[in-house]
Amino acid sequence: MLIAEVSEKFELSQDTLRYYERIGLIPRVNRKTSGIRDYTEEDCRWVEFIKCMRGVGLPVETLIDYVRLFQQGEETLETRKELLVEQHKELLTRMADMQEVLERLEGKIDRYDQLIGAARHITGFSPVNFAESKGK
Amino acid sequence: MLIAEVSEKFELSQDTLRYYERIGLIPRVNRKTSGIRDYTEEDCRWVEFIKCMRGVGLPVETLIDYVRLFQQGEETLETRKELLVEQHKELLTRMADMQEVLERLEGKIDRYDQLIGAARHITGFSPVNFAESKGK
DNA sequence: ACTTGACTTGGAGTTAACTCCAGAGAGTAA
DNA sequence: TTACTCTCTGGAGTTAACTCCAAGTCAAGT
């Protein structure tokens, strides 16, 4: 697979794909004789995995570590697992924070609804006469 | 309240507090005659709110918009609410993505556990003789 | 009066993660 | 052969969000 297709398929720019490879965020992709990248199925799986992990904010650094460990072979199984466990934990924490904010926003939105209701009552505003009341 | 206390209380650097104010991420804080910031209770509530929202990644730009709308008064109630609703939606989406990654990580961790179990069986590795087997 | 320490401003520097670009080479089409 | 398109590399530029710094002010302590 050429870089253009991979770029299309995973919605990552060609520059980003080359960048990811350059910094070791995905393993080196083989080249044809002409020097052009030829992505294998496995390369694609790496791209997909990295895109997915980056998408929820796992740091590039950490993922580079993971790829490096992977390339070092079986002796790093334990370390790799620990890395994933750590990231799992981080994600849980972040989701808990987000859950709280979510609820806080819901509370705020409810209060806005009340305020807007009250304002509508006082000013005579309603979605129906919104257009006319605008210029007043 | 002086900036040092606010910084302490919310675990934001003084530089960050001044930066937030400069870009309009929190409303302008009043100064004493000598020009030194004197945070009110309300200023503190803004700091806390902004810290909380930034903590889960709401963009600075969006929050600046919110503060600006707030300062424009009651006519922006509807817009402010919509802004919050939008951010709420974004958060939900992000949390759904994170939930998927969370599960994917769990799957991967399980598979690592199996691999490690298998490796232990073959190599005789176990937590108990880990220290000795290290140098081998 | 002088020193000390906390604070001020405006502006420059940093970090993470891309994103863009110039110059060059290979492969195909007319 | 010339033109065109895709790709390559190394390096410079960008963006968001801080973070640091220099030079100066002010109030309190000695």
Per-residue pLDDT tens for B24-54? 999 999 999 999 999 999 999 999 999 999 9
**pLDDT value at residue B120:** 77
Cβ contact, residue pair B95, A98, below 8 Å? yes
- Band of pLDDT at residue B122, cut at 50, 70 and 90: confident
Regions in chain A scoring below 70 on pLDDT: 124-136
Amino acid letter, B104: R
A90's CB contacts (< 8 A; 6+ apart) are none
Q: Is the pLDDT of residue B114 over 50?
A: yes
**pLDDT value at residue A134:** 38
Query: CA–C1' span, A15 to D14, in Å?
Result: 14
Query: pLDDT for A70-89, tens place per residue?
Result: 999 999 999 999 999 999 99
Cβ contact, residue pair B55, A99, below 8 Å? no
Which of A81, A101, A105 lies nearest to residue B109, judging by beta carbons? A81
Nucleotide nearest to A34 (CA to C1'): C26
Q: Is the pLDDT of residue B134 over 90?
A: no
**pLDDT value at residue B45:** 98
- In A, minimum Cα distance to B52 occurs at A101
Which residue, among B57, B70, B88, has the nearest Cα to A104 in the 3D structure?
B88
- SS3 of residue B63 by DSSP: helix
Q: Which of the nucleotides in strand D have any atom less than 7 Å away from a protein CB atom?
A: 6-9, 16-21, 25-27
Q: Is the pLDDT of residue B129 over 70?
A: no
Query: CA–C1' span, A34 to C24, in Å?
Result: 13
- Band of pLDDT at residue B127, cut at 50, 70 and 90: low
* Nucleic strand D under 7 Å from the C-beta of B35: yes
* Nucleic strand D under 7 Å from the C-beta of B19: yes
How far is the C-alpha of A54 from the C-alpha of A78, rounded, in Å?
A: 22
Query: CA–C1' span, B3 to C6, in Å?
Result: 10
**pLDDT value at residue A34:** 92
Provide, rounded to the nearest whole percent, the portion of chain B with pLDDT above 90. Answer: 85
Rounded mean pLDDT of B73-82?
96
- Band of pLDDT at residue B117, cut at 50, 70 and 90: confident
Residue A9, both tokens: 């398929």
Q: Is the pLDDT of residue B126 over 60?
A: no
Q: Torsions phi, psi of B31, nearest 5?
A: -110, 155
**pLDDT value at residue A132:** 43
Query: CA–C1' span, A15 to D12, in Å?
Result: 14
Nucleotide nearest to B63 (CA to C1'): D17
**pLDDT value at residue A136:** 30
Query: pLDDT for B84-102, tens place per residue?
Result: 999 999 999 999 999 999 9
**pLDDT value at residue B135:** 36
Tell me how many residue pairs between chain A and chain B have CB atoms under 8 A apart.
81
Measured between beta carbons, the chain A residues lying within 8 angstroms of B115 are 77
- SS3 of residue A113 by DSSP: helix
Output the CA–CA distances (angstroms, integers) from residue B79 to A65, A132, B46, in the order listed.
44, 18, 19
Rg (CA), chain B: 25
Nearest-CA distance A3 → chain B (Å): 25
What average pLDDT does chain B have?
91
